[in-house]
Structure 1
């Protein structure tokens, strides 16, 4: 039996932190959704950032870049604006989990080929999570902000 390499130990620690971070982010997102502190969609997020940047705790974007050049430029501009205003930006690795976590409880419409259609209010191309009121702040928000670093890719739990 041999001891693991230093690199392997670091990778194991990173995986544990990412799992914990994904769990923490899920809890924070559920709570923010219940408290109506989530803004979704590129244009809605840009408008909110322009008006109330001090109320934003975290900006989340999908890891994969959009195929559309204009959308990609919008993402970069929002990311730059967030960083300029000391707002953490994180990437989400699995968009399906992200959408299901933010999904609407209302019945989904079906397209012609029986695939669910997302409501326009749940555009997950950019999501802002607002700070909770001081009286509602809890350990999950604090832990999330302590563990996250800029442009970190977070894997959400199932």
Structure 2
């Protein structure tokens, strides 16, 4: 199946004139004929692919490829105006776990209750400093009632 797609791409490049530097006059007739034979089933797919591979191997046809590292594409944040990185203090503190909160151990101490608050911009506290976020204010309200052993994250 991959050879079919390879053949289709090569045929498109040769017949369709996708590559601007190649015009109809610069493609040899025998290549046009071979592509035509394949398109009309006069030659098999494997014969056509073998012919195209030969042309690539001897340098008559060159195929440019770009090797994109998918992780590199995902890690490129240059388009963002602002980024929040762990351990960078500003009016917002993002801990090493990616939460807008003080650092905390992954291992919870016995007797401590944890509540993870998940939500959108209002839960995050968009536009306010750390001490005015919903999780922080809720934790302070609960602690004011005498419950010290709670962490709202």
Larger Rg: 2
Q: TM-score range by the shorter chain?
A: under 0.3
TM (norm. structure 2) is 0.23
Q: Whose strand fraction is larger, Structure 1's or Structure 2's?
A: 1
By relative contact order (CA 8 Å, sep 6+), the higher-ranking structure is: 1
Q: Whose helix fraction is larger, Structure 1's or Structure 2's?
A: 1
